[in-house]
Amino acid sequence: MTGNTLAIIILAAGQGTRMRSRLPKVLHEIGGRPLVGHVLTTAQRLGADHVEVVVRHERDQVVSALAHDYPDAVFIDQDEIPGTGRAVQVAVDALPDEFDGDVLVLSGDCPLADADTLRAFLEAHRAGQAGATLMTAVVDDPTGYGRVIRDESGGVDRIVEQKDASADEAAVREINAGMYVFRVGVLREYLPTVGVDNAQSEMYLTDVPGMLRRDGSPVAASVVTDVTVTYGVNDRAQLAEVGRLLNQRIVRRWQLEGVTVIDPATTWIDDDATLAPDVTILPNTHILRATKIAEGAIIGPDTTLVDCEVGEDAIVRRSDATLAVIGAEATVGPFSFLRPNTVLGARGKIGAYVETKNAEIGEGSKVPHLSYVGDATIGRGVNLGASTITANYDDVHKHRTVVEDEVHTGSHTTLVAPVRLGAGAKTGAGAVVRKDVPAGSLSMSIAPQRNIEGWVEKNRAGTGAADAAARSRVAE
């Protein structure tokens, strides 16, 4: 619908000096995504006709970090002329000439402005007649922000940057949040006339509202009550603070969806994770990336899940898992480490101090204690005895171990891959299995046990062991 179409311009060309980082500021992550990724995700939710990201500092790194996840975004290069005004100008120039809608300007370092807030902001703009609408907030400490200067009748007169403000202007506590809607014609008309005659020798986007007013056109302001939506990240302290606020929001969202979170302060849930009703999250637990947790599962305490899938009523405690699938009613932990491509079947068990990798463990199968299972296919109803180890690596290649249904291995079995244990086979304690074991066989590696009597007293005279042996001999 002409006149009502939307372009979103996201400013991300700045260096972010105060981060003191090799990584461009907008690529620092909170909630499992770069700062600017949150802004792009919000832009997607708003359904704009054009989404442009203005880049310059480390532009290749920024573009390659985002291009895959946001294929609809267009990256626009800012030239050597500095300032937010120039950034918006190059983006507006890249819009099609026939575009005549509204332009929503956002900052790549302000990730907390959510879609609902911005939708209301757009509606407020569209309901009025102004050529520009600013988002503003009244804050206790306006340091660092542009101040919104109002006229006698209470309308917006102009924005003054902190570095250009008089003492009276600096005392104003209504700040420019750095988010705006402009009719595109306003930007096309006024940006070419914005100069660099200011304390920072930059083209300020914030000059445009004042210019509009000088020409007698109204400028509207939309004052947000929740000031956190305006928070930007300029340094690492703000990165942590904004990350905490985002997490608080995410945790609260899941609580309202029926998830029990015992300790929100130590529970970290990424924006892409999904949790079903009646999931319980115990303290100090990280649910990261696209992890999916089904109904009734209990996770934690002290657990990290990255890109995992957890089935209904499963229990995962004090463990660390990446790219693992944990079946319904399965149990994991404490103190286990599930590496990528671990698939634990329904009602299966990975117990204490177990490491798995690239391992498929069938329904109802158990790896209860102290094992390493790597590059393995384990059937159903299998029990790997304590300390069963797959020796999957011969210094050159990784090899696969196949354990068929209902196999039970004795404690401390070493499975030297490639090797296959047929259905129902058993191994004795300490077996080193180098050859395939036929179904239903017992495999043992027996070296006859030899006891050399008196060896300790003879060879270790004077030790506690020798004394104890001597006493026990006398007592006999």
Binding residues for ligand UD1, rule: CB under 6 A, are: 11-14, 54, 78, 82-84, 86-87, 107-109, 145-146, 159, 161, 175-178, 204-206, 232
Cα three-residue angle 233-204-123, rounded to 5 degrees:
70
**Tokens 């302000």 map to which residue?**
110
Nearer to ligand UD1, 89 or 342 (CB): 89
CA 249 – CA 244 distance, rounded (Å)? 9
Tell me if 345 contacts Ca ion by CB under 5 A.
no
How does DSSP classify residue 263? Answer: -
Q: Pairing mode, if any, of strands 147-150 and 156-160?
A: antiparallel
Q: How far is the CB of 313 from Ca ion (least distance, A)?
A: 46
The Cα 132–Cα 423 span in angstroms is: 74
Least CB distance from residue 169 to Ca ion, whole Å?
19
User: For residue 58, what are its two tokens?
Assistant: 């480390």
Q: Which is nearer to ligand UD1, 198 or 383 (CB)?
A: 198
In eight-state DSSP terms, residue 274 is: E
Nearer to Ca ion, 232 or 379 (CB): 232
Of 369, 397, 399, 408, catalytic: 369
How many residues sit in the footprint of Ca ion (CB under 5 A)? Answer: 1
Is 68 a known active-site residue? Answer: no
User: Would you count residue 108 as binding Ca ion (CB under 5 A)?
Assistant: no
Kindly tell me which of 232 and 385 has the beta carbon lying closer to Ca ion: 232
Q: Are strands 389-391 and 366-369 parallel, antiparallel or unpaired?
A: unpaired
Contacts 24+ apart (CB under 8 A), 361-365: 362/405, 363/327
CB closer to ligand UD1, 117 vs 427: 117
The option from Ca ion, ligand UD1, none interacting with 54 (CB < 5 to 8 A, set by class) reads: ligand UD1
DSSP secondary structure of 404-417: -TT-EEPTT-EEES
Is 46 in contact with 79 (CB distance < 8 Å)?
no
CB of 111 to ligand UD1, least distance (A): 11
- Binding-site partner at residue 231 among ligand UD1, Ca ion, none, CB < 5 to 8 Å by type: none
Rounded Cα distance, 89 and 193, in Å: 11
Contacts with Ca ion, 221-240, as mask; x by CB under 5 A = -----------x--------
Shortest distance in whole angstroms from residue 411 CB to ligand UD1: 59
Instruction: Report d(CA 444, CA 458) in Å as an integer.
Output: 33
Q: Least Å distance between CB 385 and ligand UD1?
A: 58
Question: Which segments of 184-241 are extended strands (E)?
Answer: 219-223
85 lines the binding site for Ca ion (CB under 5 A): no
Binding residues (CB under 5 A) for Ca ion: these are 232
Q: Which residues are catalytic?
A: 369
